Structure 1
C-alpha cells in the first residue's frame, strides 16, 4: 500500500531521534563560593548529551556567572572527566575535592578500581591522595547511597565506602594453607568462599553490599573507618552528613534483614536517622526506629535538622512527612504531614525521593524542595516555623521544575515542559517578600521550544469506584504533533507564531507509566516527543496509584492492580477520543483516529499494556512492552523486590512467607499472562538481561505464549542493560524499532526503509 505522508521511514525515524538527542539533559548544578568583594553568582552546570557516533553519553561542564545587573557570562563547555565520582566544594571556604574512580583493567579480586582524591583551593591544585593505597576499605559509593562532604572546619572529607573484606582464596591455591601465608600481616583470607552469594542493595546497586562510614584527614592523609569497633552491627549506613561543630556524623541506617530488598525507586525500606557521637563513641537513633527515612539536612546555623519520612511498608513510593528536629533538645515535630484527600486543587502532600543536598534559606527558616503536584513537578517552599508550604513560580516556558541547588537564597533548577527540552535556570528568593511572588529567573543554559509539538493535561473522575475512597480523580497528559508555520525549534526570545492543529486524524498511543507508584509529569520526554514527530499522539496516563494526588489515591491501587489501573487507562483513552470527536474546531484537542490505537509501557506500564491487549482484544492494533511484568507468580522468586508483588496484590509481606496454592491462584488471576489466550495484538517486547527488578524471563514468557498462538511478536534482548534500558545504543536503536513496529501494525505500512 502507499505510505501516508505522515509515516516516516527508518532513516527518517533515526534522524528524528538524532535531532532530539542533540538537546542536552542537565545532570547537576552547584552554586560556587563567591569571589571576594563581588555580588556575582557563580554556578557550575553539568549536562549530558548523547554521542550517537560513539554510542556513549558525554557530560559537559561550564561555569555560568550571573552579574548583579542580571546579565549572564558563561564559559565555553568542556568535557567532564568521565572518571569523576564526586566534585564538591566546602560550604564557606574555597577548598574543593574531586574524587576519581579509575576503572581497573581485567577482572578478578586483584584488579580492583582505584579511588583518588584531588584537592584544590580557588587558585591552584594542592595534592593528590590515593585512597586505595590506604587499604582501609573497598570501593567508594556514588550519590545513589553515598555522600562526599567537607567538614565545617574544612579539614576532613566524609564519605561512604564498601567494607574491606578478606581476600578470597581457593582451597587449591599453592599458599592457601601455608604457615608463611597465614602469618603475613594484613593478608586475611577467606578460604573457599569465592562463590558465596552476598546480599546487596538490588537493581542498579548490586555493587553496594556492606557500606561503612569513612573520613579522610586531608592534611595528614589518614583514612578512618568509623565502624571498626562494631558499634553499627545490624545497620547499613548511607547518606551521611557532618553533625554541628564536626562533633559526629548523622546518617540514614537501613535495617539488616534476612535478605536485602532493592532500594532504588523504593522509599519505604525500614530505616532510621542515627547520630554517631565522636565524643562518647555511642550511636543513637534520632526519632523513630520503625519508619522509612531519607535526606537528613542541617540548617546553615547548625541548630535544626530536617528529613523526609514515611511508612516502612505498602506502596513503594508514598506521600511523605517533613520532620523537624531541634538539635540541642532533640525535640521532633511534623512540619508537613500526610495529606489523604487533595481534591481537584488542594495541596496533595509531599512526593519527593529526597531533599536537595542544600535546601535551607540563609535565615534558617525556609526549606525548598521539589515535589510532584498532580501531573507537574513543582517547587515547594516550606516555612518550618508556621508549617506552611507555598508553591514558587517557575521559569518562563516551563511547566515543571526540580531543585538542583539552593544556597545563600539563590535557587538553581532544572526546568522543562513536554515541548521544551530541559534547561538550567537560577533565581533569587527574597525572604522579605511573599514566596509566591514572581522570581526573576536567569537561564544558565539555552532554552529551546519545539514549535511542532503541543500538549494538554486532562482530568478524569474514575468510573470504577474504590470501595473505601469512591470515585477518585486522576489525570492524563496528551502530547501531539502540530503543523508549525516556522522552523521546528526556536530559542527563547525568538518570535513565535500560533501553530495550527495538524489536519490528519492522528493515531493514538496509550502510555501508562511504570511503578505503579510514580507519575508522569509535564516535563520533556525524548521518546514522547520523538513519537509525536513521527506522527503519533501520545496519552500519558496517571491512573490511580500515581503520586501527587493525595495519599488515598496512592493507597487505592493496593489489591487492585490489573483491575482499577486498567479501567482508568481504558477510560482515559475513551474520554480523550470522545472529546476529540466532539470538538468542533479541534482547537483544544487534535483529531484522533479511534481505529488506530496502540499500547506502550515499561515495567508496571508494560504490565498494564499486557492487560490492555488481553482484556480488550482487538482494541489496540499494536503494543510495545519494555521489561514488562507479565506473571506475578514467577516474579516473586526472581525480583529484587518480591514484596512489591504481595503489597500491590493486596497481601501482607514477610521475609519468611512462602507461596501457597491460594496465593498462586490470586497472583495468576492478576497477571497479564492469564489473558494471553485472548491476545491478537502484534506485540514487540524488549528486555534487559541485567534487569534485577523485572527479570527478563517475564517478557520471554509473553513472547513464547504469543508465538505459540501465531500472534505477530518480536523479542529484543539487550545484554548489557538493566531495568531502565538507558544505554545509548539501546535507547537509540529501540526507539527506531518501536516506531517501525507501530508504522507496520497501526498504520499498515510494511516498508522499513
Structure 2
C-alpha cells in the first residue's frame, strides 16, 4: 500500500471516530422550571483543546403531549464555569467560576473561586471565596455530592475542601497571613498528613481529603461552616474531626435541618473511592437553625431549644449513603441507601432504609439475593435488587421514590412505594425493551424528564406526565405516557474534519442469554450479553467478532452509547458478556465470583463467546479478537493465555496481570484481597502472607503467560493509581521477549480510564487498526 493510500485510510478512520465522538450525548445537568423551560448542559469533546466543552441547551416543553418541544441554539459555556445550578423554581441560578488572580502580573496562574448569583437575566451578586475559608467547592454527583439550594432559595448548602495546614521548611520563616491565624508547621513540608496529603486515590489525588459542609447566604455572601462530626468511627487512627469527611448534604423541607453522609477517613490507610462504594459511611442529621440565624441575621425563636447535636440515623449499618427526604402522607421522612452486611466486593446490591424515631432503621427495599420471580420482568428476569450510585435529588411523588438502577443488561427507571416497599418498573411504550433509561429531572408539577439511550443510539430526552407516574401498575409495570423532547445533533470535536448532522448508525443490537445448561449445571445463574452486529453482516458476508468483557469485576455493560464501542461495531460484531460477578443480576451471582476470578469469569466469557458464534450465523467463528480494560484486561490476558489458539488478536487497556505485585502499589489493595482471597479487614491493615501471595499469583494471568501466542496491543496511563502501569508493562515486555507481535501505547498524563479527550480517540483508533491487521 502506498504512503498516500495509508494516509487516506487513516484519515477515514479518524473522520469515522470523529462522527461517533460528535454524536455522544453526555448530560451533566437537566432542570425543568416552573415556566416549562427545560435547561440541559451537555458535555462535548474538544480534541483541539484536549478538554470538554459544555453547552447549555434550552427547550420549551409547554403544551400537549402531541406537540414537539421547541428548542433554541445551544450556548457554549465558558471553561471557567465549574458549576451551573438553577434553583428549584428556575427563577435563580448559581454559577461557580474559577477566575485567574492576575492582578498586575499577567503571568500569574493562581485561581480564585467566585460564586455568581443570577436572578432571572440579572447578575445580582458576585461572592468571592476567601482562601482562608475553604478550598474547592465539590461538584461530584456520583461521589461526594453537589451543592443544593435551600427550600426558600436564599442559601446554598455545599461541601468544600478543608484548608490544609500551612507548612514551611526548617530553614525558612514567614510572616504572611495564614488561614485561621495558624502558625506554620516548620519542617512539615514533607510530612505525610501535613505537607504531603493522604488522598482518596484514583481521580481524587488532587483533591484535599477532608471535606466540610458550608452554608452560604446568597444575599450577603456570608459563609458559615457546619461543625464536623467528632469521632463517629471507631477505631480511628486520626484525631477528632480529622477522621471524618462530609458530603452528599441535603436540606430538610423546613429549611432548618440538614442530612449528610460522613465517611471514615481515619483508617490505617485511606482506600481509593471512585468506583468503590464499600467505604465505611454513616448518615447524620443536624439542626442548622442557629447557624442560619447568624448568616441571615434572624432573631432567636422558641424553637432554638429544639436544636440537637448530630444524630446518626443509619444506626449500625456498615454502609449508608445518599440521604433524601421523602414525603409520605403529611410528614417528611429521611431515607437513604444502605446495607446491613459488610461487603468486600466494590459494588453490590443496596437496600433503601428509612430513619426511625427509635434507635433502629426500617428497611423499605431489602437487598435481593437472586431475581424475584413475582413482579416486573425484563428479558424474563424478575427484579434483581437495586444497583445504583445515588438516589435522585428531588422530593418524592405522592409517596413514591423514582430511581434509576441496573436491571440485567439495561438501565431502567423504577418506582418505589416508600410506605410498602413495592417496586414497579416504569415503561415507555415507545421505547424498545433493550433501551436503557434514566431519570434526569423532575419538574415543579411532578412531571418527569427521562433520558433514553441504547448501544445503537445516542441519548434523547423524554417528557413524562406526573399523572401517569402515579397510576396503578399492571404486573409490576407502569406504562407511562411520554413524548420525545429532543434528539441532540452532533457537535464537532475538532477542526480536523466536518461531521454529518444526521447519519444512520450502521449496526444493530441484540441481548443474548445463555441458560444454565450451557454454563456449568442447572444451579448456575444465566448469563446475559449484549451483541452489536453491523447491519451489512449476513450469512454470506460474515464478520469477525471482538469480545469486550467489562471491568470491575462487579460492574456491568448495559445498553448505552459509547463512541469507542460504536467505532468497533461499525466494522465488527462486538460482544459484551456480563459474566457472573456482574451487578444487576442479584447479589448472590455477584458474590459467586469472589475467590474464583481467573476461573469462573474466564469460563463465562468463553461460554458467552461460543454461544454467540453458535446462534448468530453472521459471525465468522474463525476470526475472534478480545479487548478489555482493568478487570476486562485481566480477562483478555487470561483468555489469551488459557486459550492460546482461540483468539487472533487482543487489546488490553490498563490490565491487571499480576495481583501479587499490584497489591503494594494500587490505591485499592482491598480489591486484591477480596477478589483473590475473599476477605479484607480495613481496620487492621497488614501485608499478605506467603500463602496469600501465592494464591494471588496463581489467579493472575502472569502465571500462564508462557502459553500466550496472541498478538497483543497494550494501552497504559502513566498516572494510573488503580492499576499501575507497571502491570501492563510487565505483560508487554514478556510477550515482546517471546517474539509475539506487540504494541505499546503509553499516555503520560492519563489515569485509569484513559478518557482524556485526545487519548480516548487515539487509543480507540489504534485498537481498531490493530484488529484490522489480525482479523481477516
**Fold match by TM threshold 0.5:** yes
Would you say the 8 A contact 1:263–1:269 is kept in 2? Answer: yes
Mapped pair 1:322 → 2:322 = no
Equivalent residues in 2 for 1:573-584, closer than 5 Å: 573-581=609-617
The residue number in structure 2 matching 1:272 is 282
Q: CA separation in 2, counterparts of 1:574 and 1:10?
A: 32
Asked if the contact 1:420–1:449 (Cα under 8 Å) also holds between the matched residues in 2, the reply is no
Q: Check 1:676–1:381 CA distance in 2 against 1; reply closer, same or farther (3 A cut).
A: same
Q: Does residue 450 of the first structure (1) align with residue 504 of the second (2)?
A: yes
How far 1:102 sits from its partner (Å)? Answer: 3.3
Matched, 1:165 2:164: yes
Please state if 1:304 is matched with 2:340: no
Partner of 2:727: 698
> For each residue in 1:495-514, what CA deviation from the matched residue of structure 2 results, as whole angstroms up to 9, or x when unmatched?
xxxxx847411111111000
1:596-637 per-residue CA deviation (whole Å, 9 max, x = no partner) reads: 110100000000001000000111011000010110001111
Query: Paired residue for 1:33?
Result: 33
Does the alignment pair 1:480 with 2:516?
no
Deviations 1:641-674 (A, max 9, x none): 1111111113311242212211111000000111
1:139 corresponds, among 136, 139, 142, to 136
CA gap 1:688/1:155 in 2 versus in 1, 3 angstroms = same
- Judged with a 3 Å threshold, the aligned counterparts in structure 2 of structure 1 residues 302 and 331 are, in CA distance, closer, same or farther, namely farther
Residue pairs, 1:72-83, within 5 angstroms? 72-83=69-80
- 1 CA distance for matches of 2:278 and 2:485? 36
Task: Please state if 1:459 is matched with 2:513.
Answer: yes
In structure 2, the CA distance between the partners of 1:446 and 1:708, relative to structure 1 (3 Å rule), is: same
Alpha carbons 1:272, 1:285 under 8 Å: kept: yes
Query: Residue 199 of structure 2 aligns to a residue in which SS?
Result: coil
Greater shift after overlay, 287-296 or 705-714? 287-296
CA distance in 1, matches of 2:659, 2:116: 48
Within the alignment, does 1:471 sit opposite 2:528 as a pair? no
- For the aligned residue pairs, the C-alpha RMSD in angstroms reads 2.8
Partner Cα separation in structure 1 for residue 538 and residue 178 of structure 2:
80
Deviation of 1:123 after TM superposition, in Å, equals 4.0
**Structure 1 residues 466 and 429: alpha-carbon distance in aligned structure 2, compared to 1, 3 A threshold:** farther
Question: 2:23 aligns to what?
Answer: 23
Distance 2:506 2:539 in 1: 9
Q: What's 2:300 paired with?
A: none
Greater shift after overlay, 599-608 or 388-397?
A: 388-397
- Aligned partners of 2:202 and 2:272 also within 8 Å: yes
Cα offset, 1:219, TM superposition: 2.5
User: Counterparts of 2:644 and 2:228 in 1: how far apart (Å)?
Assistant: 61
Residues 536-591 of structure 1, C-alpha deviations (whole Å, 9 max, x = no match): 1101110000111111111111111000000000111111112234xxxxxxxxx2
Q: What secondary structure does 2:663 align onto?
A: helix
- Equivalent in the alignment of 2:551: 514
Aligned to 2:200: 201
Give the direction of change, closer, same or farther, for the CA distance of 1:460–1:579 in structure 2 (3 Å limit). same
Q: What is the TM-score of this pair, normalised by structure 1?
A: 0.88
Distance between the aligned counterparts of 2:278 and 2:178, measured in 1?
Answer: 46
Partner Cα distance (1:540, 1:189) in 2: 54
CA contact (8 A) 1:32 1:42 kept: yes
| Matches of 1:432 and 1:677, distance apart in 2 | 60
For 2:482 and 2:675, the matched residues in 1 are separated by 44
Q: What is the aligned partner in structure 2 of residue 120 from structure 1? A: 118
CA deviation map 1:71-102 (0-9, x unaligned): 31222101022222222233347332111133
Q: Which consecutive unaligned segments of at least 5 residues does structure 2 have? A: 233-240, 289-303, 374-379, 490-501
Answer whether contact 2:337 2:391 (CA < 8 A) is retained. yes
1:242 and 2:251 equivalent?
Answer: yes
**2:42 pairs with one of 36, 44, 47:** 47
Q: Closer, same or farther in 2 for the Cα pair 1:704/1:60, shift >3 Å?
A: same
State yes or no: 1:351 paired with 2:387. Answer: yes
Aligned residue number for residue 63 of structure 1: 58
Structure-2 separation of matches of 1:245 and 1:466: 56
Shift of 1:158: 1.0
Q: How does 1:381-530 map to 2 (within 5 A)?
A: 381-394=415-428, 396-397=430-431, 399-407=435-443, 408-430=445-467, 431-434=469-472, 436-446=478-488, 450-462=504-516, 470-483=523-536, 501=538, 503-530=540-567
Could you tell which deviates more after superposition, 728-737 or 295-304? 295-304
- Rounded to whole Å, the distance in 2 between the matches of 1:213 and 1:184 is 17
| 1:461 CA displacement | 2.8
- Of 524, 546, 550, the residue aligned with 2:582 is 546
Cα displacement string for residues 321-344 of structure 1 (whole angstroms, at most 9, x for unaligned residues):
011236x77873211111112175
Q: CA deviation at 1:288?
A: 2.3
Which residue number corresponds to residue 645 of structure 2?
618
Between the aligned partners of 1:370 and 1:128, the Cα distance in structure 2 is 36
2:750–2:756: 8 Å Cα contact kept in structure 1? yes
Instruction: Give yes or no for the alignment of 1:96 onto 2:125.
Output: no
Q: Using the alignment, how far apart are the partners of 1:502 and 1:308 within structure 2?
A: 48
Residues of 1 paired with 2:159 and 2:270: CA distance?
A: 18
SS across alignment from 1:599: strand
Say if 1:360 and 1:406, in contact at 8 Å, map to a contact too: no
Partner of 2:59, secondary structure, is: strand
What's the counterpart of residue 156 of structure 1?
155
Equivalent residue for 2:604?
568
How far 1:22 moved relative to its partner?
A: 1.7
Please say if residues 65 and 74 of structure 1, whose CA atoms lie closer than 8 Å, have aligned partners that are also in contact: yes
Contact 2:25/2:488, CA 8 A, preserved across alignment: no
Instruction: Say whether residues 1:373 and 2:407 are aligned partners.
Output: yes
Q: SS of the residue aligned with 2:188?
A: coil
Alpha carbons 2:437, 2:450 under 8 Å: kept: yes
Residues matched between the structures, number: 703
Q: Which residue of 2 aligns with 1:487?
A: none
Per mean C-alpha deviation after superposition, the further-off stretch among 294-303 and 517-526 is 294-303
1:34-85 deviation per Cα after TM superposition (whole angstroms, max 9, x unaligned): 13xxxxx221111122233444322111111112224312221010222222
Pair 523,93 (structure 1): closer, same or farther in 2 beyond 3 Å: closer
- Partner of 2:135, secondary structure, is strand
**Distance verdict in 2 for CA 1:466–1:644, change over 3 Å:** farther
Taking a change above 3 Å as real, the CA distance of residues 302 and 62 of structure 1, as seen in their structure-2 partners, is farther
Distance (whole Å) between structure 1 residues aligned to residue 259 and residue 217 of structure 2: 18
Aligned to 2:220: 220
1:284 corresponding residue in structure 2: 311
- Write the deviation string for residues 308-328 of structure 1: whole angstroms up to 9, x where unpaired: 1123332111011011236x7
Q: Per the alignment, in what secondary structure is the counterpart of residue 188 of structure 1?
A: coil
**1:403 CA displacement:** 1.3
| Residue 263 in structure 1 maps to residue 273 in structure 2 | yes
Matched, 1:601 2:628: yes
SS class of match (2:254): helix
CA-CA distance at 1:182 after TM superposition? 10
Deviating more after overlay: 234-243 vs 671-680 = 234-243
**Taking structure 1 as reference, are residues 26 and 395 closer, same or farther at Cα in structure 2, changes over 3 Å only?**
farther
CA distance in 2, matches of 1:190, 1:158: 31
Instruction: Please state how far the C-alpha of 1:297 moved relative to its aligned partner.
Output: 1.1
How far apart are the structure 1 equivalents of 2:151 and 2:549? 46
**Structure 1 CA distance for aligned equivalents of residues 178 and 423 of structure 2:** 63
